[in-house]
Structure 1
Amino acid sequence: MQRDWDYRWRVRHRWHQRWHHQHARFKHSLGARLIAVFMLLACVSSGILWASMGSAYGLLWAVPALLLVTGLAFGMIRHMVRPLHALAMGADAFRRGEFDHRVPVIHGDEIGDLAVRFNQMAADIQAMLDGKRALLLAISHELRSPLTRARLHAELVGEGGSRDALLDELAQMRDLITALLESERLGSGHSALQLADCDLAGLAREQALPGVVLHVEPGLPVLKLDRLRVQLLLRNLVHNALRHNDAARGAVRLSLVREGSGVRLGVRDFGPGVPPESLPHLGQPFYRPDAARSRHEGGVGLGLCLCRLVAEAHGGRLALRNAEPGFEASVRFG
């Protein structure tokens, strides 16, 4: 008797284990739950239609009942696939470089597992970027000291073409290191800025170099900006325009106009512009439309990248387009 009772208890225990295992697999499988909903919808709908055929006024209640059952099934399916919207929002955030964003794990199913993997991927990418940024900052800082000593030694060389060329190369190396450091600082976005009341018109007048025509709309608002970073943006855009401008067609135009509650800054030249296929790549680090240009003529490709980072850190966007003739860069502040 005791042996039979033990046997029945073990059988019942194994049955419970299998049932819990299958139930856990069912809850984890989105496909299985969707199939169950569709089967339930089909069975209930069939039952409603079969019951309505035996009544003279069956359609009067069968149609609302079918609509109600369909609505309930739609709500259940929508609840099950709702985490897909959170995944789409997370993918958009990662595309914008916001790797601190985390996808909420709503259900413990296959989509929940995918959300966990999304979050782990974002954490790994963020750790990799932080490591790269720390390494680049350390190398850039360490390069400054030997570069300064090399420049001091170069100053002792006798005057001539070789000395001037050496000093020019050292100056380009210094500018490159400074640009790299600044790009990494701006990589943290708004937190890198030191905001204060800034007169954009005054900064624009500082860049009114020979060959530049300044147009400033009167009564522009005073904005909270990082003066040094905006000054860097203005200087890079104006110097880039002067380098490629065709003076026979016109002078470089530097304009400030009110746009909504903010100010739109624009710099336009009358040069040859850039190939249309190169426009999407402008602003990327070290990218230059004409690879054949020398570094002395075309820079290293960090000027527009810094301008883009300054604009994005202020909540704006650097817009680049061919103006036909020429090329225009614009940023909206505020």
Structure 2
Amino acid sequence: MRRFHPYDHHGLARKRRKQRKMELAIRRDMQWHWRARHRWHQRWHRQRAHFKRSLGARLIAVFIVLACAGSGILWASMGSAYGLLWAVPALLLVTGLAFAMIRHMVEPLHALADGAEAFGRGELDHRVPVIHRDEIGDLALRFNQMADDIQAMLDGKRALLLALSHELRSPLTRARLHAEMVGEGPSRDALLDELAQMRDLISALLESERLGGGHRALQLADCDLAGLVREQAQPGVELQIEPGLPALHLDRLRVQLLLRNLVQNALRHNYGERGAVQVTLARAGQGVRLAVRDHGPGVPPEALAQLGQPFYRPDTARTRQEGGVGLGLCLCRLVAEAHGSPLVLRNAEPGFEAAVTFTLAAAG
């Protein structure tokens, strides 16, 4: 073996280069192992995150564990004389645990269903709780974002409509004052009638937007509903009021509006030779039922589902003077729904009936 002389500089240099090469090789080997381990850890974390976010993967895992556990229990019970005595309870226990895990996984679906129902009822402030950070959680987040966008859009529309309605009142009032200065005659009467209809339309629009807030828009107090019905006594109207009805917690002005619109609508379409408009107030189960019926031609069955929608009139050929602008029944529906009851519209054969039931739970 060759020995290096202490003053052999070339030999020492070769030795140092060899050592550096060995150190670099060891370092590269360590870096390669570190990168491989790091890639494995990254892959593991990605797969774990995907598994946690994927409902299907977790359900498959539960079914695989259930199948393996069931197979193991059956295999172990076959070698024992009393295997069935403990195998059946063990299988039931494993199945119950699997059912509980699956129910926990799909629990957010029930929250989504409840949120969709609440949203369909008009409760736009309802939000779906995000229970798990998985695919269903992403769907709940998107549902809540959609609800926020729709609510913002409706709030903007409502604010714009309210602002326009308020701004239109001033020029409308001035136009009416100028019209009253015009000489008397058919033109003046027609102009005043058109201005009155515009005023009623603006008032109806404002009221419909206020009632869009539902129960929060009401000013509730003890109200004698029978007394409000008696105020509608007029030629062509027949009142049927059950005695001894209790006072209810209602918005008197809004119920007055509902009654007036229903009676005017019934008088407009009633055939007097068949009978008078009937306004009935009586107990019905756990509430008090108010019904207004005429003896007119009724409504086409295909149009019943759309009655109560803004500006909808079943007969498009009718003029505004004959059929209104289509906001009367809409306001009645909003008033009824704000009090927690639907407005029921149906053909009475002959005639047409509109009814609402105010619950006794709202009694003062």
TM-score interval w.r.t. the shorter chain? Answer: over 0.9
Q: Secondary structure at the match of 2:346?
A: strand
Corresponding residue number in structure 1 for 2:69: 44
> What residue number does 1:176 align with?
201
- State the secondary structure of the residue aligned to 1:82: helix
Distance in structure 2 (CA, Å) of the matches to 1:57 and 1:261:
60
**What is the alpha-carbon distance in structure 2 between the residues aligned to residue 303 and residue 214 of structure 1?**
21
**Which segment is superposed worse, 192-201 or 252-261?**
252-261
Q: Paired residue for 2:268, among 232, 243, 255?
A: 243
Partner of 1:17: 42
Q: What code does the residue aligned with 1:298 have?
A: G
Aligned equivalents of 1:86, 1:189: Cα separation in 2: 23
1:86 touches 1:104 (CA, 8 Å); kept in 2? yes
Letter in 2 for 1:130: D
Q: For the pair shown, which has the larger CA radius of gyration, 1 or 2?
A: 2
Aligned residues: 334
Q: Name the residue aligned to 1:309.
A: 334
Cα distance in 1 for partners of 2:299, 2:252 equals 29
1:282-301 superposed matches below 5 A: 282-301=307-326
2:296 to 271, 296, 318: 271
| Deviation of the 1:189 alpha carbon | 1.0
After TM superposition, the structure 1 stretch with the greater mean CA deviation from structure 2, 249-258 or 105-114, is 249-258
Query: What is the aligned counterpart of 2:259 among 234, 243, 248?
Result: 234
1:73 equivalenced with 2:98 (yes/no): yes
Q: Which amino acid aligns with 1:19?
A: W
CA offset at residue 261 of structure 1? 4.9
Structure 1 SS opposite 2:219:
coil
Alignment of 1:27-66 (within 5 A): 27-66=52-91
Q: Cα deviation per residue 1:138-181 (whole Å; 9 max; x = unaligned)?
A: 11111111111111111122222111111111111111110000
Spell out, residue by residue over 1:211-234, the C-alpha distance to the aligned partner (whole angstroms, 9 max, x if none). 001111111111121111111100
Q: Distance in 1 between matches of 2:113 and 2:244?
A: 43
Deviation at 1:52, TM superposition (A): 2.4
Cα displacement (A) at 1:3 = 4.6
Match of 1:258 among 283, 301, 306: 283
Q: CA deviation at 1:21?
A: 1.3
Moved runs in structure 1, 4+ residues, more than 6 A?
none
Give the whole-Å Cα distance in 2 for the aligned partners of 1:128 and 1:64. Answer: 57
How far is the alpha carbon of 1:58 from its aligned partner? 2.7
> C-alpha separation between the residues in 1 aligned to 2:221 and 2:96?
55
Report the 3-state secondary structure (helix = DSSP H, G, I; strand = E; otherwise coil) of the residue aligned with 1:76. Answer: helix
Unaligned stretches of 5+ in structure 1?
none
State the Cα distance separating 1:25 from its structure 2 match.
0.6
Q: 1:107 aligns with which of 132, 141, 149?
A: 132
**Alpha-carbon distance, 1:123 to partner:** 0.6
Deviation at 1:65, TM superposition (A): 2.0
Equivalence map 1:207-226=2 (5 Å): 207-226=232-251
Equivalent pair of 1:267/1:329 in contact (CA under 8 Å):
yes
d(CA) in 2 for partners of 1:224 and 1:36?
A: 56
Which has the larger displacement, 2-11 or 271-280?
2-11
How many Å separate the matches in 2 of 1:206 and 1:44? 76
TM-score w.r.t. length of structure 2:
0.89
Task: Give the distance between the partners of 1:56 and 1:262, measured in 2 at CA.
Answer: 67
SS at match of 1:88: helix
- Tell me how far apart the structure 2 counterparts of residues 208 and 30 of structure 1 sit (CA, whole Å): 64
Secondary structure at the aligned position of 1:255 is classed as strand
| 1:142 has 2:167 as partner | yes
In 1, Cα distance between the equivalents of 2:135 and 2:117?
20
Tell me which residue corresponds to 1:329. Answer: 354
Stretches of structure 2 that go unaligned for 5 or more consecutive residues are 1-25, 360-364
Decide which moves more: 251-260 or 280-289.
251-260
2:108 to 67, 83, 86: 83
Q: Which residue number corresponds to residue 121 of structure 1?
A: 146
**CA–CA separation in structure 2 for the residues paired with 1:33 and 1:287:** 51
Report which stretch shifted further, 28-37 or 1-10.
1-10
Residues 154-193 of structure 1: pairs in structure 2 closer than 5 A: 154-193=179-218
Structure 1 letter corresponding to 2:62? V
How many percent of aligned residue pairs carry the same amino acid? 82
Letter in 1 for 2:180: E
The answer to whether residue 220 in structure 2 is matched with residue 195 in structure 1 is yes
TM-score (normalised: structure 1): 0.96
Which among 98, 102, 105 is matched to residue 123 of structure 2? Answer: 98
- The 3-state SS of whatever aligns with 2:313 is coil
Provide the secondary structure at the position in 2 that maps to 1:78.
helix
Deviates more, 1:202-211 or 1:123-132: 202-211
Residue identity opposite 2:241 in structure 1: V
